[in-house]
Structure 1
Amino acid sequence: MEQVLANFVPLLSALWWPFVRAMAMLSAAPVIGEAMVPVTVRILVSVVLAILMAPVSGSQGMAIEPISMAGVAATVEQAVIGGVLGLAFHFAMSVIATLGFVVSSQVGFSLAVMNDPLNGTSSDVISALLAMLAILVFFGIDGHLVITGVLGASFKAWPLGGGYGPLLLQTVAWNVAWIFSAAMLLAIPIVFSTMVVQLGFGFLNRVAPTLNLFALGFSMITIFGLLMLGQVVRFIPAHYIRMSNQVLDMIQQQMRATGHG
């Protein structure tokens, strides 16, 4: 029995480090890290990934005692690496959410807010529909397999105990700006078209103020905005795939910069 325990404790110690990195990455990753996915599911998936990644993560964790200052530092290191990688993939999903908010505020749907019992938040109708579309595209392009592959490659780029350079964190932080630029790039046709309709009804209201065209203009803006959204939606999957490829290129560049990618 003592021999079994003596062999079990090092094995458990070796699985702890990939588990922490996988758990942090899945908690920040899109879809899997949402509140609608139970924490127990993420824990079970992280355990499975830790077992699969044990040969890739190396044997450095065998020499680190988890209950020590070095173990605490290594745990924080793994959590930061996994969280930053998952956050980078979350950017592409945030673009779709930002797009839905901008479109809803333009077409007058920002007042139609639904309570989401799964996530515990409130979201407008268009944002919810675009989020469902992004989730379908995520699994359609095997995004979960891509995240798993990046997790395995991260152990070669940033091995356990090798330290963590802030270059990846800085790059991810500096790329936050393209979330808003990419969302506005998709929302510009809808924003411009609804602005033209508003200007047109504004001029008509000046010509015939007794007709109260603003009341008619609100419904017309909503209808016209939905028609424009129907034209833009077909470009969202390709745009999401392009943004995901940009995130992958960013991560691969940082892996090459470490000299291990």
Structure 2
Amino acid sequence: MLSLTSTEISTIIGSLWWPFCRIMGAFMIMPLIGNAYVPVMIRILFALCISGLIANLLPPVPAVDALSFSALYLAVEQLLIGFMLGFILYLLLHVMTILGTIMSMQMGMAMAIMNDPANGDANPILSQWFLLFGTLIFLALDGHLVAIGILVDSFRLWPIGSDLFSLPLMGFVHRVGWLFSASLMLAIPAVLAMLLVNITFGVLSRSAPSLNIFALGFPMTMLMGLLCVLLSLSGIPSRYSDLCLDALSAMYQFIGGTV
């Protein structure tokens, strides 16, 4: 007759529960999967399926009583680790959002706001368009599959029970600065072109005060901005591909991997 102790039962349950907590933490915020358009039940089932598939491949999990405070702390710790891994990719896609915001402000389309019912915020239409463009590039590069692979490898590189505060948390904070620098890098050509246009109309307003520069400059600035957007489409994919590689590498190195 098979008899199991409470510790053995907790270990068996933990081999599925702890991986589920980390994976679900990543799926809460990871692009595409963490979007509000994806039902929570689908995310839970997807996380359970992945946890069940990798349960037998994981290193031994710590024997912790499932009803103890240590089990609660371990569950929260795995949720935070998964959340931080998913947040790195969240910053990657929002590079395109900030890029669209910068270009909208330069070309005078910042007032063209569209509400996003999924995320509950309001962004310029150009930001929404660039976000969709960046998402399609990320999918074309199979970035979602690589991200799930890194998430699975995290159990080998950073086993369950490892100290959360031993992770390079300051490097994680620096990724926020990387978000703004990457957005500005993509937006610099358009910003410089729009700056030249504004300087030109400034010179015209000083040399010919009788001209209605505001009536002439606004449509011309918008047309020049749309032209810059059109010209940027040929160069953004290659640059954004490098940013995707950089974000995935940072995600892998965050949990102790070497590239």
> How high is the TM-score relative to the length of structure 2?
0.90
Match of 1:67 in 2: 67
The answer as to whether partners of 1:36 and 1:119 remain within 8 angstroms in 2 is no
Quote the Cα distance in structure 2 between the aligned partners of 1:135 and 1:34: 12
Quote the Cα distance in structure 2 between the aligned partners of 1:160 and 1:8: 17
The answer as to whether partners of 1:56 and 1:155 remain within 8 angstroms in 2 is no
Correspondence list, 1:166-177, <5 A: 166-177=166-177
Match of 1:41 in 2: 42
Q: How far apart are 1:241 and its partner, in Å? A: 1.8
Q: How far apart are 1:248 and its partner, in Å? A: 2.7
What SS does the corresponding residue of 1:209 show, helix, strand or coil?
coil
Match of 1:221 in 2: 221
Q: How far apart are 1:32 and its partner, in Å? A: 1.8
Match of 2:157 in 1: 157
Quote the Cα distance in structure 2 between the aligned partners of 1:81 and 1:169: 11
What SS does the corresponding residue of 2:85 show, helix, strand or coil?
helix
Quote the Cα distance in structure 1 between the aligned partners of 2:3 and 2:139: 44
The answer as to whether partners of 1:91 and 1:179 remain within 8 angstroms in 2 is yes
Count, aligned residues: 256
Quote the Cα distance in structure 2 between the aligned partners of 1:229 and 1:161: 48
Quote the Cα distance in structure 2 between the aligned partners of 1:171 and 1:118: 29
Match of 2:123 in 1: 123
Letter in 1 for 2:175: N
> How high is the TM-score relative to the length of structure 1?
0.89
Quote the Cα distance in structure 1 between the aligned partners of 2:239 and 2:171: 21
Quote the Cα distance in structure 1 between the aligned partners of 2:181 and 2:134: 18
Q: How far apart are 1:156 and its partner, in Å? A: 0.9
Quote the Cα distance in structure 1 between the aligned partners of 2:41 and 2:236: 32
Match of 1:183 in 2: 183
Match of 1:14 in 2: 15
Query: What 5-or-longer segments of structure 1 have no aligned partner?
Result: none
Match of 1:243 in 2: 243
Q: How far apart are 1:56 and its partner, in Å? A: 2.9
Query: What 5-or-longer segments of structure 2 have no aligned partner?
Result: none
Quote the Cα distance in structure 2 between the aligned partners of 1:17 and 1:199: 59
Task: List per-residue Cα deviations over 1:227-259 (Å, max 9, x = no partner).
Answer: 0111112222222221121123334444447x9
Quote the Cα distance in structure 1 between the aligned partners of 2:236 and 2:113: 22
What SS does the corresponding residue of 2:65 show, helix, strand or coil?
coil
Quote the Cα distance in structure 2 between the aligned partners of 1:233 and 1:181: 19
Give the % identical residues. Answer: 36
Quote the Cα distance in structure 1 between the aligned partners of 2:256 and 2:114: 44
Quote the Cα distance in structure 2 between the aligned partners of 1:219 and 1:163: 57
Match of 1:203 in 2: 203
Alignment partner of 1:23 is 2:7: no
Letter in 2 for 1:203: V
The answer as to whether partners of 2:15 and 2:55 remain within 8 angstroms in 1 is yes
Task: List per-residue Cα deviations over 1:161-197 (Å, max 9, x = no partner).
Answer: 1322443322111232121111111111111111111
The answer as to whether partners of 2:114 and 2:122 remain within 8 angstroms in 1 is yes
Task: List per-residue Cα deviations over 1:34-80 (Å, max 9, x = no partner).
Answer: 2232222211211111112212333315x222221110111122112
RMSD of aligned Cα (Å): 2.3
Letter in 2 for 1:119: N
More helix by share: 1
Range that drifts further, 230-239 or 145-154: 230-239
